[in-house]
Chains A and B, each alone.
Chain A
Amino acid sequence: MALISVKKLNRVFDVSKPWLNRVIERQPKAFLTAVSDVDFEVAPQTTYGLVGESGSGKSTIGRMLVGLLTPSSGTVEIEGINLASETDAGKVDAVRSDIQMIFQDPFASLNPRWRVRDIIVEPVVARGGDATGLAEKLLEQVGLSALDAGKFPHEFSGGQRQRICIARALSSEPKLIICDEPTSALDVSVQAQVLNLMSDLKDDFGLTYVLISHDLTVVRHMSDRIGVLYLGRLVEEADAEDLFADTKHPYTQMLLEAAPQMDGFGREADLPEGEIPDPINPPSGCAFHPRCPVATDICKQERPAMRHLGKSRVACHLAE
């Protein structure tokens, strides 16, 4: 059974101006659709990668998975429990303790006035658990020293802070960790260390990751299955190998060609053309058609449905 099951997930933000401005300027309410009709499932002890440009809705999905945002419609079920609608407090609490999150900015994600020890054990202490010696044990597991428990976050570098975040995420012994751009604020040299640490911990603790990133190389290195998002919609989903070897959607193609490659010194990278469209007024038909090199008339008129092609799923009229 899938650990996470996401069905028809939608999230709309009200980005209207204040009421008085709207009345004076005679403007209607404005809505931004950050996520629309996203379906996917994540199997236990696998890594699911979510990739997309900025504004594609990947972080919004991450927030809905952990319950920081409620979906506008659709459901997120974790271990069969829907956090947004479940009324049994015991079940909600049980699921909550199984989910943790690692954030993008290691400088904002640790409370600067708390000692590292208190930060790490908070998920346990908040539930009234016993946390004696836990912080020291976890610090050593993430490659820091037990002596660091008494320090404050400002005494650490970005990579070390991200390790502390990982230690905090592990303290409540979760099954699922949502990683929202865990390495994009780090130096390239430290990124690999943090990613390796995450892979090791996945095996040691039997974790499931949802890895949100704009960096295809990171996602390729870590993920078992990858979903590509464009303007709040899933455009392609495939096993990691297949996505890179047998790319089906032209958008994925464009992303892959834009990524810097080791064998490509001297080669002009094909930069993606155009920009991500305005999500308040998305294009008709396939949202990608204004930038798509192979778009035809049908792409402008009709939104492509998600189709199964082998083990992949793709939302494109022309893919085969």
Chain B
Amino acid sequence: MTDLPDHTAPKLAEKSRLRAFLDSDIFFAFKRSPIAVVSTIVVTVLVLSAIFAPLLATTNPFDSASLNLMNGFTAPMAPNAFTGETFLLGTDDQGRDVFSTILYGMRISLFVGVAAVLFAMVLGITLGLIAGYLGGWVETIIMRIADVQLTFPSILVAMLIFGVAKGITPIEYRDQMAIWVLIIAIGLSDWVQFARVVRGATLVEKRKEYVEAARLIGRKPYAIMLKHILPNVLSPVLVIATISLALAIIAEATLSFLGVGAPPTQPSLGTLIRIGQGFLFSGEWWILLFPALTLLTLALSVNLLGDWLRDALNPRLR
């Protein structure tokens, strides 16, 4: 060969993934955004305290043996009139420590939120990929179902699914099943977002020549969808997943607040708020306020993180 080699790039060894991440644009943009840093810290603290709730909580609020009814309605940071015990955030009518119930409640809220988003993600990505890649009547059916579902408020869809599921589960299993039913109900009400975005991105990717290169060597459609297209449509999915997480947590809280969500034996933040609002006008404000503030902080910081991620991954806004 007589021509000059046109590779002048330095021959670097493969970079480690961590190094590559620390050098990336995303991490640089992250460091420069105080909102992103603060909300990441807040989310991390909340998630860790939910995971390690049994270690952090002063009492197990669902172990009735450890409860003392005499502790009921203790105000925050004030000694109880009968037992002299003090509680950081006070106690509820049953004498349960509000701080501990919040930690355990957040566990349920986060678990339901994350699981519901994962479920919606798997469902939405699968259907979106199939609709976008195969096209034709398969696409028409999937996307029309999605359109129809979008015309209902998602909380209504979730309530409907929850109601039907509750109707067909035997009474003795209802409390155990409630959490799983919640996850499926919220997940089913949220898959449309993922399906639409993934379908749109798939339509763009499938026309690219690397997909044709794979087709002409005889790769099967599922292999092309999973190995070629999926990795290239994931970055918008990440953004929606984050924003959906905040929405799923709120949806769960709404359902629980309305009394159709997490049962009182496994109270989530929403259940705690529902219980607390009964005492608001009798002066025990802390039973309502602290779970509500926790929910607000959690949803807000996840949402801010999602917003930032959307901007950071959008090259047009840089």
Contact surface of A with B, Cβ cutoff 8 Å: 66-68, 92-93, 96-97, 99-101, 103-105, 108-114, 119, 122-123, 126-127, 143-145, 147-148, 150-151, 155-157, 159-160, 165, 168, 172, 190, 192-193, 196-197, 200
Contact = CB atoms under 8 A, between A and B. Distances in A.
Interface of B: 1-7, 9, 11, 13-14, 208-210, 212-219, 223, 228, 231-232
A200 B6 CA distance: 17
Nearest to A89: B218
Given A68-B216, A109-B212, 5 more contacts: A101-B213, A109-B210, A123-B217, A127-B218, A157-B7
- Give the one of B13, B212, B223, B231 with max A CB within 10 A: B212
Contacts of B209: 103-105, 108-109
B146 to A, nearest CB: 19
A260 B205 CA distance: 37
B212 A103 contact: yes
B218 A150 contact: no
A168 B213 contact: yes
Contact of A66 (B6, B13, B216): B216
Contacts of A157: 6-7
B217 A143 contact: no
Given A110-B210, A112-B232, A150-B14, A159 B216 contact: no
A38 to B, nearest CB: 20
Nearest to A111: B210
Contact of B210 (A108, A144, A197): A108
Contact of B5 (A66, A109, A143): A143
A197 B1 contact: yes
A79 to B, nearest CB: 16
A143 to B, nearest CB: 5
A94 to B, nearest CB: 11
A119 to B, nearest CB: 8
Contacts of B5: 143-144
Contacts of B4: 193
Contacts of A111: 210, 228, 231-232
B11 A145 contact: yes
30 contacts: A92-B218, A96-B217, A97-B217, A101-B213, A103-B209, A103-B213, A109-B208, A109-B209, A109-B212, A112-B232, A113-B231, A119-B210, A122-B213, A126-B214, A126-B217, A126-B223, A127-B218, A143-B5, A144-B5, A147-B13, A150-B13, A156-B7, A157-B6, A159-B6, A172-B217, A193-B3, A193-B6, A196-B1, A197-B1, A197-B3
A147 B13 CA distance: 8
Contacts of A108: 208-210
Contacts of B2: 196
Contact of A68 (B6, B212, B228): B212
A150 B11 CA distance: 10
Contacts of A67: 216
Contacts of B3: 143, 192-193, 196-197
B6 A122 contact: no
B26 to A, nearest CB: 15
Contacts of B215: 68
A153 to B, nearest CB: 9
B125 to A, nearest CB: 15
A96 B216 CA distance: 7
Nearest to B8: A157
A165 B11 CA distance: 20
Contacts of A92: 218
A318 to B, nearest CB: 40
B213 A109 contact: yes
Contacts of B210: 108-111, 119
A174 to B, nearest CB: 10
Nearest to A139: B7
B213 A143 contact: no
Contacts of B218: 92-93, 96, 126-127
A130 B13 CA distance: 24
Contacts of B223: 126
A108 B4 CA distance: 25
Contacts of A122: 213-214, 217, 219
A143 B1 contact: yes
Nearest to B1: A200
Given A103-B209, A105-B209, A143-B1, A156 B216 contact: no
Contacts of B212: 68, 101, 103, 109
Contacts of B219: 122, 126
